[in-house]
């Protein structure tokens, strides 16, 4: 898996991602402490509102940026967005009102909503071979998991010698270092599409391509599965460990580490698995496993008299493994499903639509846990996870070839596209994606 780091451009981009993620992890800890400093016992409400603002920024901003990202100098755009995030993080230690947090979080996450999909769409252009790109996706998943494990530990160490306000300095450093690493390499620049008829068409182009592609409609359903199970873990681990089991803060960290550890194991194993197994055959069973784990744990909680602590750790580890197996191949599907010039818009559509799923599942996990308790919450989110898996089976056909034979009755016989693919009359086959010449998906057998 580490062989892809031999590519200098990818190595610098991956380093930029890792450093920025560490900075983001420090920001998460510092923001929680800042919220408590300003709001006391109501800090949870402040953080919940900030999280909702983050999702709103992701859902609202990324399609707009994705519509025009391919027309902007890619390297300069990524650098400017990194600098913008650093600038906002630099202001956070000086806020004195809660509404200041909300405004700055919206600005910071808007910059992230612009940066992240564009960054993700750059990697398949840097590593065009599918085998290399698959390994890059697993490394990226591994980087997220390591950040979840290491950033809180690093913050805890730093807080023994500095005030929490200085943690924001680590965030600023992370974003600035990422900008420097992006500047240090040349990035491929796709030719922009010229098909947009106006602002609306450009903004919705990525989502229209996404929703017109069967495998991506299936991916959206799998995003719902991942968000339902992930929200249960992220929101309610502390409730289960501290409230239900009466254990310590260290045990909360251990439970989250089990989830992250399972995810890391999957990320390490997936490159070899995906070399010989289709994406659908990995992702759909993993989503089913996620739903089964949540429902099984709910059943154990209510009917079986066993020690729940080891059960929780095992379930969380298996959930982390399945969660990573659902999400890691996502980039492969997006790359297969768009022309190079449309990739920024399609990656932005994935970014927006996947976070829209989280915008639904986070409140369910939080409020249902308070109102109805853990077993009911596990059951509801487990059913929602299985619903997403079932929809993906319906929306994403098992027969999903890259090349599809189709016709162009609407084109002149001397059209350049028909001359490029010589066939029987207007009928020919090539890797099929939705674009200006292919506006709907053909019926396949």
Q: Which domains does the chain have, with CATH numbers?
A: 1-189 (1.20.1250.20), 205-397+437-445 (1.20.1250.20)
Whole-number pLDDT of residue 145: 65
Confidence of residue 391 (pLDDT cuts 50, 70, 90): very high
Whole-number pLDDT of residue 192: 60
Q: Indicate if the pLDDT at residue 425 is higher than 70.
A: no
Q: What is the mean pLDDT of the chain?
A: 84
Alpha-carbon gap, residue 91 to 45, rounded angstroms: 22
* Mean pLDDT calculated for residue range 1-10: 82
- Which is higher by pLDDT, 286 or 143? 286
Bridge partner residues of 430 (DSSP): 404
Q: Indicate if the pLDDT at residue 423 is higher than 60.
A: no
Of the listed ranges 27-31, 104-108, 140-144, 152-156, the least confidently predicted one is: 152-156
- Which is higher by pLDDT, 12 or 264? 12
* % of the chain residues with pLDDT over 90: 28
Q: Indicate if the pLDDT at residue 280 is higher than 80.
A: yes
- Which is higher by pLDDT, 165 or 376? 376
Whole-number pLDDT of residue 69: 67
Closest CA to 338 of 216, 177, 157, 160: 216
Confidence of residue 166 (pLDDT cuts 50, 70, 90): confident
Residues 322 and 176: beta-carbon distance below 8 Å: no
40: left (phi over 0), alpha (psi -120 to 50) or beta: left
* pLDDT digit string, tens, across residues 35-67: 767 777 566 567 667 777 888 888 888 777 776
> In a 10 Å sphere around its CB, with 0-12 CB exposed, 13-18 middle and 19+ buried, how is residue 273 labelled?
middle
Whole-number pLDDT of residue 48: 64
Of the listed ranges 44-58, 200-214, 340-354, 360-374, the least confidently predicted one is: 44-58
* Mean pLDDT calculated for residue range 197-212: 80
Q: Indicate if the pLDDT at residue 364 is higher than 90.
A: no
Closest CA to 260 of 328, 323, 327: 323
Whole-number pLDDT of residue 141: 72
* pLDDT digit string, tens, across residues 103-118: 998 999 898 888 888 8
Confidence of residue 193 (pLDDT cuts 50, 70, 90): low
* Mean pLDDT calculated for residue range 207-223: 94
* Mean pLDDT calculated for residue range 218-239: 90
**How many Å is the Cα radius of gyration of the chain?**
22
* Mean pLDDT calculated for residue range 371-382: 91
- Which is higher by pLDDT, 91 or 368? 91
Q: Indicate if the pLDDT at residue 392 is higher than 60.
A: yes
* % of the chain residues with pLDDT over 70: 89
* Mean pLDDT calculated for residue range 408-428: 73
3-state secondary structure of 64: helix
Residues 348 and 66: beta-carbon distance below 8 Å: yes
- Which is higher by pLDDT, 40 or 179? 179
Alpha-carbon gap, residue 283 to 289, rounded angstroms: 10
Residues 298 and 256: beta-carbon distance below 8 Å: no
Whether the CA torsion 62, 65, 71, 77 is positive or negative: it is negative
Whole-number pLDDT of residue 210: 93
């Amino acid at each position: 898996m580490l062989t892809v780091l031999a590519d200098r451009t990818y190595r610098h981009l991956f380093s930029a991602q890792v450093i920025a993620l560490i900075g983001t992890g420090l920001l998460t800890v510092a923001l929680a402490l800042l919220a408590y400093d300003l709001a006391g016992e109501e800090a949870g409400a402040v953080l919940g509102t900030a999280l909702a603002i983050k999702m709103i920024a992701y859902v609202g901003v990324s399609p707009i940026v994705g519509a025009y990202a391919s027309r902007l100098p890619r390297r300069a755009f990524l650098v400017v967005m990194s600098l913008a995030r650093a600038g906002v993080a630099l202001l956070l230690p000086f806020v004195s009102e809660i509404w200041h947090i909300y405004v700055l979080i919206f600005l910071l996450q808007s910059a992230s909503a612009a940066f992240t999909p564009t960054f993700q769409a750059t990697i398949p252009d840097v590593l065009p071979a599918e085998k290399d790109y698959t390994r890059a996706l697993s490394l990226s998943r591994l980087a997220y998991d390591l950040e979840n494990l290491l950033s809180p530990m690093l913050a805890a160490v730093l807080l023994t010698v500095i005030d929490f306000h200085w943690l924001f300095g680590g965030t600023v450093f992370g974003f600035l270092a990422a900008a420097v690493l992006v500047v240090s390499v040349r990035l491929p620049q796709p030719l922009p599409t010229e098909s947009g008829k106006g602002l609306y068409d450009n903004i919705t182009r990525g989502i229209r391509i996404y929703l017109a592609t069967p495998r991506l409609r299936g991916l959206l359903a799998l995003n719902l599965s991942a968000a339902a199970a992930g929200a249960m873990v992220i929101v309610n681990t502390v409730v289960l460990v501290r409230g239900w089991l009466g254990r310590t803060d260290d045990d909360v960290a251990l439970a989250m580490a089990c989830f992250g550890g399972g995810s890391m194991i999957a990320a390490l194993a997936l490159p070899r698995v995906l070399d010989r197994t289709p994406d659908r055959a990995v992702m759909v069973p993993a989503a089913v496993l996620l739903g089964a784990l949540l429902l099984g744990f709910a059943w154990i909680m209510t009917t079986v008299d066993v020690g729940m602590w080891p059960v929780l750790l095992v379930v969380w580890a298996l959930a982390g493994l399945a969660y990573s197996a659902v999400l890691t191949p996502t980039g492969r599907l997006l790359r297969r499903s768009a022309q190079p010039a449309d990739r920024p818009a399609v990656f932005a559509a994935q970014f927006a639509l996947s976070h829209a799923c989280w915008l639904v599942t986070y409140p369910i996990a939080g409020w249902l846990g308070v109102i109805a308790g853990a077993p009911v919450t596990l059951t509801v989110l487990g059913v929602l996870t299985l619903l997403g898996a079932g929809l993906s089976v319906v929306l994403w056909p098992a027969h999903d070839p890259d090349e599809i034979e189709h016709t162009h009755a609407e084109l002149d016989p001397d059209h350049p596209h028909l001359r490029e693919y010589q066939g029987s009359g207007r009928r020919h086959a090539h890797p099929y994606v939705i674009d200006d010449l292919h506006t709907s998906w053909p019926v396949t057998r």
